[in-house]
Amino acid sequence: MTELKTYFVWDASIRWFHWINVLCILGLVALGTVILNASALGVSTEGKILLKTVHVWIGYVFVINLFWRLIWAFIGGPHARWRSILPSGQGYRDELRAYVAYFKVGRPRQYLGHNPLGRIAVTLLLLVLVIQAITGLVLAGTDIFYPPLGAWIASWIAAPGVDPATLVPYAKETYDTAAYESMRAFRSPFITLHYYNFYALLGLIVLHIVAVVVTELREGGNLISAMFTGKKVLSKTPADLTKKD
């Protein structure tokens, strides 16, 4: 009979980050999709401004949550830190080859933290999330004059004699035409990157979900419930077990 052993792996910060991130992404994807198709859906100018405003506020929660996760990677528990996330470090390549080999023959190794392939996926996800956060903050300023760049953008494009603090979205009569076009040129690469990175994020999310399901079925370890309880239940000695665990 296989002996199961319970390990505490994911601390509260990791679990809260994960589920707040999930909720934020769901909200941002839903609102972003409506915003992209606003014209086809017949959304009014006021409606677009409202949608973008809510999108930005959810985006702030998303950014703060992500920023905390990046900090926690320096100060958190052993499985939350960069050395357990990034696909690098002494012996990583050998561990990756061993993991793939064991997986192919139907004897997958179990891990407390992320397995070697999971580390690649998590790193890519964090990178894409950071890109989406940075470009989103830029667009918040260029679209509806929200922080951190909103005041600067408003000062840039305000027509002579117009108080930048009074600018509102889509009120082009209060904008300096040349400055506005220059701002749009500045904005263009950010919105392009935000747009295509959005689809890259969706692809990685789908891949993440599939990988979790496959890993749960092949390796066990109750990955999904562990993100609620913080505990993994394993039937083998974890490949990444240390004395501190």
In DSSP notation, 101-142 reads HHHHTT-PPP-SS--HHHHHHHHHHHHHHHHHHHHHHHHHHH
Please report the pLDDT score of residue 90 as a whole number.
87
**Every domain of the chain and the residues it spans:** 5-234
Whether the CB-CB separation of 137 and 149 falls below 8 Å is answered with yes
Q: Which own/partner pairs from 38-44 qualify as long-range (CB within 8 Å, at least 24 positions apart)?
A: none
Place of tokens 């470090």: 89
C-alpha span between 161 and 59 (Å, rounded):
33
Please report the pLDDT score of residue 1 as a whole number.
44
Exposure of 79 in the CB half-sphere (CA atoms within 13 A): 27
Please report the pLDDT score of residue 2 as a whole number.
59
* 141: pLDDT strictly greater than 90: yes
Cis amide prior to 189 (ω within 30 degrees): no
Whether pTM exceeds 0.75: yes
Q: What is the DSSP letter of 174?
A: G
Please report the pLDDT score of residue 244 as a whole number.
57
57-74 residue pLDDT tens: 999 999 999 999 999 999
Domain 5-234 is found in CATH 1.10.3720.10? no
Whether the CB-CB separation of 209 and 18 falls below 8 Å is answered with no
82-128 residue pLDDT tens: 999 999 988 899 999 999 998 888 888 889 999 999 999 999 999 99
* 151: pLDDT strictly greater than 60: yes
Count CB neighbours of 68 within 10 A: 15
